[in-house]
């Protein structure tokens, strides 16, 4: 914006930003505001809105289905987050070696990330089919009788976790790859000269140097895993016996199946508050760690 000064600069900026700002306000900010307003109402879409104050919030806190959905979501996170970070990092370390054809491997691992959830979910539904699926067939070759996966309340969530980890490790690996490029090579060389083993090198150099990347990956994955929905909606619809009903699945049910828009909005805001609080705590923790390291 050289040469443009004062007011003209802001006008030019505003004009340039207008298209994306318009889309953002129409499809993000406006719905966010209206969902907040609606969370204090009773509205079934077809009849006029009734205002009921904080009634929805009071009901949601006591609702056993909300508690179950929260438990299921936390179960998902507990399975998904460590796995996706660990496997993603392992993959990045492998792909960081000068292997023949590593560009091809990088592309292959990234393909699931850009594939639509609908396609991935349908394919995994078949892979996890207890009778005809490839996974149970593979297990049977090892002499293991595979579980009922999506038909079994104890195995449905592990099935969803497995699918999600498979789809997301490419994303985590790419972020870690970028992080690995940032580590100066002379550190590793110095460690080599001092006779450090591969494990010592990883644990004392690579892992600490990757801390900012790990923080970023964990935060992003945590936020997205609280919002897990597409794969659940397609693979199990929240069943069997509600075993995979996550928070967003419950919000969707209340909004579009039970026609309780106000209640669904209230649960959405509770979910937002939860994610916000956890991310904030993570941030503070990270800052304190930085300070103690620095």
Partner 1 sequence: MNIVHKSIAALLLMTAVSSPALAQTTVKYMTFSAAPNYIEELDATIAAFQASHPDIKVEYETQAFGEYFTKLQTLVAAGQAPDAFELNYESFVDYANKGVLADLNPLIAADAGFSTSVYNSTALAAFSQNGKQFGLVESFSNVVLFYNQDLFDKAGVAYPTAEWTWKEELDAAQKLTDAANGVWGDFAPIQFWEFYKTIAQNGGAMFNADKTEVTLDSPQNVDTLQWMVDKVNKYHVTPTDAETAGLSSEDLFRQGKLAMLRTGIWLLGDFVDNAKFNWDIQLEPGNTNKAHHFFSNGVAVSATSGNQQAAYEWIKFLTSSKEAVDIRVKAGWELPAVSDQAAVQGYLDLPKPEHREVVFQALDTAVTPPVIANWNQLTDIVGKELEAAKLGQKTPQQALADAAAAVKGIL
Q: Which residues bind partner 1 (CB under 8 A)?
A: 44-47, 125, 129-133, 148, 151-153, 239-242, 253, 256-259
**Nearer Cβ to partner 1, position 46 or 114?**
46
**Nearer Cβ to partner 1, position 79 or 133?**
133
CB of 254 to partner 1, least distance (A): 9
CB of 45 to partner 1, least distance (A): 4
**Nearer Cβ to partner 1, position 57 or 202?**
57
CB of 130 to partner 1, least distance (A): 4
**Nearer Cβ to partner 1, position 164 or 245?**
245
Long-range interactions of 38-47: CB distance < 8 A, separation 24+: 38/261, 38/262, 38/265, 39/262, 39/265, 39/266, 39/268, 39/269, 40/262, 40/266, 41/261, 41/262, 42/260, 42/262, 42/263, 43/260, 43/261, 43/262, 44/259, 44/260, 44/261, 45/259, 45/261, 46/259
Helix 117-127 × helix 156-182 angle, to 10°: 130
CB of 158 to partner 1, least distance (A): 15
Q: CA 33, 36, 38: angle at the middle one, nearest 5?
A: 110
C-beta of residue 265 within 8 angstroms of C-beta of residue 39: yes
CB of 146 to partner 1, least distance (A): 10
Phi, psi of 80 (to 5 degrees): -75, -50
**Nearer Cβ to partner 1, position 152 or 230?**
152
- DSSP H helices, the chain, are 6-24, 30-38, 55-62, 64-96, 102-114, 117-127, 134-141, 156-182, 185-193, 198-201, 207-209, 211-226, 230-235, 247-252, 261-293
**Nearer Cβ to partner 1, position 191 or 264?**
264
**Nearer Cβ to partner 1, position 44 or 192?**
44
CB of 110 to partner 1, least distance (A): 30
Cα distances (Å, whole numbers) of residue 274 to 37, 70, 164, 200, 246: 19, 10, 22, 38, 14
Distance from C-alpha of 277 to C-alpha of 70, rounded to nearest angstrom: 15
CB of 33 to partner 1, least distance (A): 18
**Nearer Cβ to partner 1, position 38 or 92?**
38
CB of 192 to partner 1, least distance (A): 53
């Amino acid at each position: 914006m050289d040469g443009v000064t004062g007011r003209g600069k802001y006008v030019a900026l505003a004009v340039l930003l207008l298209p994306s700002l318009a889309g953002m306000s129409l499809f993000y900010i406006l719905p966010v505001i209206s969902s907040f307003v609606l969370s204090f109402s009773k509205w079934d879409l077809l009849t006029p809105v009734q205002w009921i104050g904080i009634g929805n919030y009071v009901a949601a806190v006591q609702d056993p289905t909300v508690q179950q959905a929260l438990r299921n979501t936390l179960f998902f996170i507990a399975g998904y987050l460590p796995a996706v970070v660990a496997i993603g990092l392992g993959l990045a370390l492998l792909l960081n070696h000068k292997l023949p054809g590593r560009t091809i491997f990088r592309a292959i691992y990234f393909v699931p990330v850009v594939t639509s959830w609908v396609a991935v979910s349908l394919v995994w539904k078949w892979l996890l089919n207890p009778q005809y699926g490839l996974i149970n067939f593979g297990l049977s070759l090892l002499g293991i009788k595979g579980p009922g996966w999506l038909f079994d309340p104890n195995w449905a969530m592990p099935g969803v976790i497995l699918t999600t980890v498979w789809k997301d490790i490419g994303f985590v690996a790419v972020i870690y790859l970028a992080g690995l490029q940032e580590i100066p090579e002379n550190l590793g060389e110095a460690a080599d000269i001092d006779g450090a083993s591969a494990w010592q090198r990883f644990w004392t150099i690579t892992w600490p140097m990757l801390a900012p990347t790990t923080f970023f990956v964990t935060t992003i994955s945590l936020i997205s895993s609280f919002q897990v929905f597409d794969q659940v909606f397609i693979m199990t619809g929240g069943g069997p016996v509600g075993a995979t009903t996550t928070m967003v699945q419950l919000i969707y049910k209340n909004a579009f199946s039970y026609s309780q828009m106000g209640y669904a909005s209230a649960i959405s805001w509770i979910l937002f508050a939860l994610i916000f609080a956890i991310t904030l705590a993570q941030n503070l923790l990270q800052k304190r760690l930085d300070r103690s390291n620095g």
